């Protein structure tokens, strides 16, 4: 029987790394630096993809979606994280925790789907180059983008209410750095079997299935690339895919470890660092990976800089 408890009348305590005060101060400056780089890097990607006509193609449309997503994703949790790391207070109100959970889960699920869409886009580009523009037309790109954002929204509207309806009467201490589903389920005073099953099903749909699709896509891409006789052609084909594959590995590797990890103290402590990685580090690395490994993006940055310089000197 579910205990009667008014959750909204009490605050949660995000324990985070409160047992390591010296580490908190170091993490504060590291996370603040990464957050500033995330804001700058992803805003540049969105701006360049929008301003440069040469980047008005499906690949960069989806990349600008990813950058916008990363901007919102990291902003949904990092400011609160910085507040908790800087001072002795670790509290977060029930409303703030609920909002963070809804937004965090929405954007995280959206990224899972968006990375699959980007993998499919690369598959069509490499395996069906002559039909690429016909298949990946603007209307389809927009529909796939809406599918990604819509799937994430549906996921959070299903899972977040089910998590927040759990009673948290005896324990308000969340042993995590953000309000996310696994940590909240763990502190509930009720039977959480339904929530755990729900989380497992969601993990299969949004983590396992996408990974299978992405691996299959890149398997087909690998076969297609090996059939290209020109070495230069092979390098060009690989270069358009390696950046995305690296981003996929970083994101899915850490998220999967958090949501599919065993329930024990060691895994829980490791999970905090993994959460820190995919909420702070990965959104910072994404624009760097795409700009440093992509000649078209670097060329667009140069052109944008030259145009800005010319307009300033007119």
Domain ranges in the chain are: 8-306
Judged by phi (left if over 0) then psi (alpha if -120 to 50, else beta), residue 171 lies in: beta
Q: What is the pLDDT of residues 186-234, one digit of tens each?
A: 888 888 889 888 888 988 899 889 989 998 988 888 888 887 777 776 7
Q: How far is CA 305 from CA 189, 230, 245, 288, in A?
A: 57, 34, 29, 17
Does residue 151 surpass a pLDDT of 50? yes
Which contacts of 310-314 are long-range, i.e. CB under 8 A and separated by 24 or more positions? none
Mean pLDDT calculated for residue range 88-97: 87
Per-residue confidence (pLDDT) for residue 7, from 0 to 100:
58
- Token pair, residue 217, equals 């896509």
CA 174 remoteness from chain centre? 22
Residue 1 clears pLDDT 50, i.e. is over it: no
Dihedrals phi, psi of 311, to nearest 5 degrees? -65, -30
Sorting pLDDT into bands at 50, 70 and 90, what band is 34?
very high
Residue 166 scores a pLDDT above 90: no
Q: Which CATH class is domain 8-306?
A: mainly alpha
pLDDT surpasses 60 at 264:
no
Give the pLDDT score at 312: 62
For residue 271, what pLDDT is reported? 75
**C-alpha distance from residue 272 to each of 2, 6, 39, 266, 276 (Å):** 29, 28, 22, 10, 6
As beta bridge partners, residue 173 has 13
| Residue 150: C-alpha distances to residues 3, 107, 145, 157, 270 (Å) | 34, 10, 8, 11, 31
pTM given for the model: 0.86
3 pLDDT exceeds 60?
A: no
What is the pLDDT at residue 298?
67
Task: Report whether pLDDT(285) > 90.
Answer: no
- Please say if the pLDDT value at position 314 is more than 60: no
């Amino acid at each position: 029987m579910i205990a009667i408890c008014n959750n909204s009348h009490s605050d949660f305590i995000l324990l985070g790394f409160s047992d390591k005060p010296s580490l908190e101060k170091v993490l504060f400056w590291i996370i603040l630096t990464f957050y500033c780089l995330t804001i700058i890097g992803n805003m540049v990607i969105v701006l360049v993809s929008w301003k440069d006509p040469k980047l008005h193609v499906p690949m960069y449309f989806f990349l600008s979606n990813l950058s916008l997503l990363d901007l919102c994703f990291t902003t949904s949790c990092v400011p609160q994280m910085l507040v908790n790391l800087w001072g002795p207070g670790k509290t977060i109100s029930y409303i703030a925790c609920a909002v963070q959970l809804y937004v965090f889960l929405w954007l995280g699920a959206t990224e899972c789907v968006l990375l699959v869409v980007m993998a499919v886009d690369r598959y069509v580009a490499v395996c069906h180059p002559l039909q690429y523009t016909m298949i990946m037309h603007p209307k389809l790109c927009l529909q796939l983008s809406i599918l990604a954002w819509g799937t994430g929204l549906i996921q959070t509207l299903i899972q977040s209410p089910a998590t927040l309806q759990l009673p948290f009467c005896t324990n308000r201490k969340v042993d995590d750095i953000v309000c996310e589903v696994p940590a909240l389920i763990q502190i509930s005073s009720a039977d959480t079997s339904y929530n755990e099953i729900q989380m497992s099903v969601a993990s299969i749909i949004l983590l396992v299935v996408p990974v299978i699709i992405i691996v299959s896509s890149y398997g087909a891409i690998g076969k297609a690339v090996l059939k290209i006789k020109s070495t230069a052609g092979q390098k060009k084909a690989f270069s358009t895919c390696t950046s995305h594959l690296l981003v996929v590995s970083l994101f899915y590797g850490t998220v999967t470890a958090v949501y599919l990890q065993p329930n024990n103290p060691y895994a829980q402590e490791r999970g905090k660092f993994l959460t820190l990685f995919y909420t702070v580090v990965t959104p910072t690395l994404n624009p760097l990976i795409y700009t440093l490994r992509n000649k078209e993006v670097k060329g667009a940055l140069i052109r944008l800089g030259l145009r800005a310089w010319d307009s300033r000197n007119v």
